[in-house]
Amino acid sequence: MLIYIRDLLSPEEYSRIREICGTVIPCMNRDSSSEVVRYRYTFGANEYVSRVFSGLRGLPGSPTNSTPVEYRYYGVGGMMDWHRDTQLYDVPQYELVYTVDNTSDSETQWIDESSGELRSLRTEPNSLVIVRAGGVLHRVTPVGRGGRSIIKFVRI
């Protein structure tokens, strides 16, 4: 299952999230666990970000505090190879990726589970992708130009 939602937040919430993300850029660390250039920042203490993403209604699962909300930036060369998200809990887990900005040529691709066809989309700012852990095979193609910033969080 892969679900794509456009215009997730109100214009005011989206603007505030972008502003907060802009302030953490100097604090971001290069992700040493990644083979590609990717920067990461964990929103442990930002109450606004936590409240916005934990308060979303109509999404599968419930918010969890056991997995941190992360802000990530992918520059030229940044990508995520083919994978299925790792199931961390005994209950269904959903990986949610909120696109803050995307000036890149990168695409999210997945294999449709029912048809076996390759599908792709370019995620827009203020959009959300939802993937059930252990489910659909997916990837993010390499950034050739521009950049892509996301907020990643989990619901169970």
Express each pLDDT in 22-44 by its tens digit.
Answer: 888 878 877 766 655 577 778 76
Domains of the chain as residue ranges with CATH = 2-155 (2.60.120.620)
Kindly report the number of other CB atoms within 10 A of residue 110's CB atom.
Answer: 20
Rounded to whole angstroms, the Cα distance separating 68 from 60 reads: 18
Express each pLDDT in 68-126 by its tens digit.
Answer: 888 899 989 889 999 999 998 889 999 999 999 999 999 999 999 999 999 999 999 99
CA-atom Rg of the chain in angstroms = 15
| Range 5-10 contact pairs with CB under 8 angstroms and sequence separation of 24 or more | 5/127, 5/128, 5/130, 6/124, 6/126, 6/127, 7/126, 7/127, 8/56, 8/98, 8/126, 8/127, 8/128, 9/52, 9/126
